[in-house]
Amino acid sequence: MTVTRSKLALVTGASRGLGAAIAEALAPVHHVVAVARTVGGLEELDDRIQARGGSATLAPMDITIPDAMAHLCRNIYDRWGVLDLWVHAAIHAPPLSPADHIDAKEMTKCMAINVQATSVLIPMVAPLLRGEAAQAVFFDDPHLDEKFFGAYAASKAGQMALARAWAAESAKLGPRVRILKPQPMPTATRARFFPGEDRKKLHETRDEAERLLVELGVMGHLVN
């Protein structure tokens, strides 16, 4: 398939939730490289993107496998040369647990996806973000000092530490690294943390994706 889009966006964690909503919203003016483990979710996303007149490259892979991600980044370089936007929405939400009852396997998985994979992806994706307006985007979800959030909060804090360090280091030469704070949305992650919550009071994922894209400065291209 020949891609004619003037912009290219990589969305990691694109099969559901905020990642999927952002990938879909970007599609009218970005060719989207959508990464996730769930093939069915990616195919459904592709259908929605095509319905909006956009196009996507589906990359069903596990971001915790460095060789797979290196292969993807190499393919992006060989095919397009540069990347305009990286949105990192992939996250693992472990079961809530008292700190003295955290499951070791869950903690290992949490750190592997939320921290280790991020530390591997940053040096792989950074060389692709060479345009003047290139951006990398991360999402903060602070739960420090909250009961039962120990595993998630620790891993999310680690991810944010990496993102903030990169933001400071790249402030002069780019890319621009952004850390955004989404409003509460009816995602699977939130449902795991807050079962039984009245989801009608939450912000629609699609609306929140568009608000965040406005904050990033790309929403102006999406109007109409």
Q: What is the pLDDT of residues 194-205, one digit of tens each?
A: 998 999 999 999
Identify whether 66 is preceded by a cis peptide bond (ω within 30 of 0): no
Is residue 121 exposed (0-12), middle (13-18) or buried (19+ Cβ within 10 Å)?
Answer: buried
Given pLDDT bands bounded at 50, 70 and 90, which one contains residue 10? very high
Looking up residue 137, the CATH number of its domain turns out to be 3.40.50.720
pLDDT score at 48? 96
Is residue 166 one of the residues assigned to a domain? yes
Dihedral angle of Cα 63, 70, 136, 24, to the nearest 10 degrees: -60
Share above pLDDT 90 across residues of the chain, in percent, rounded to a whole number:
88
Answer whether residue 4 shows pLDDT above 70. Answer: no
Q: Within a domain: residue 17?
A: yes
- pTM for this one? 0.93
> Is pLDDT above 50 for 1?
no
- Our measurement of the distance from residue 186's CA atom to the centroid of its chain's CA atoms, rounded to an integer in Å, reads 17
Q: Which domain holds residue 200?
A: 7-219
- Confirm if 86 and 34 have CB atoms less than 8 A apart: no
- Please indicate, yes or no, if residue 1 is contained in any of the structural domains: no
Report the alpha-carbon distance of residue 159 to residue 166 in Å, rounded: 11
Identify whether 29 is part of a domain: yes
Give the integer Cα–Cα distance in Å for 220 and 206.
16
* Least confident range of 52-56, 120-124, 162-166: 52-56
Give the mean model confidence (pLDDT) for residues 8-36. Answer: 96
- Number of domains present in the structure of the chain: 1
Is 66 a domain residue? yes
- % of the chain with per-residue pLDDT over 70: 95
Q: Residue 2 domain-assigned?
A: no
